[in-house]
Amino acid sequence: MTNIYNTVCDDFYVNLRVGTQMTLPHQRETLLHFFEQIQKIFPDMSRFRRTDQNEYMLEEDREKDSYRWLGIESQRLTCGHVNPPSMQEALRLPTAILDHAPYALGLSRVEIDYMDLLLGFDFEFSGNHDEIVAESLFVESPLSCLLEEPGTRATDFQTYRNRCANR
Amino acid at 94: P
Nearest by Cα to 16 from 106, 123, 110, 107:
107
Average pLDDT, the chain: 83
Nearest to 118 by CA among 17, 45, 11: 17
48: phi then psi, degrees, rounded to nearest 5: -105, 135
- Model confidence pLDDT, tens digit, residues 12-22: 889 999 999 99
What is the per-residue pLDDT for 151?
Answer: 77
Please, which pLDDT band fits residue 6 given cuts at 50, 70 and 90? low
Say how far apart CA 36 and CA 30 lie, in whole Å: 10
The reported pTM is 0.73
Q: What is the pLDDT of residues 119-167, one digit of tens each?
A: 887 777 666 667 766 666 666 777 777 777 787 766 666 554 444 443 3
Host H or E run for residue 131: helix 129-137
Helix axes 92-104, 28-41, angle to 10 degrees: 150
φ/ψ (deg, to 5) at 128 = -85, 105
Residue 58 above 50 pLDDT? yes
Domains of the chain: 4-122 (3.30.160.110), 127-158 (no CATH)
Q: What is the pLDDT of residue 161?
A: 42
Higher-confidence position of 133 and 56: 56
Element (H, E) at 103: helix 92-104
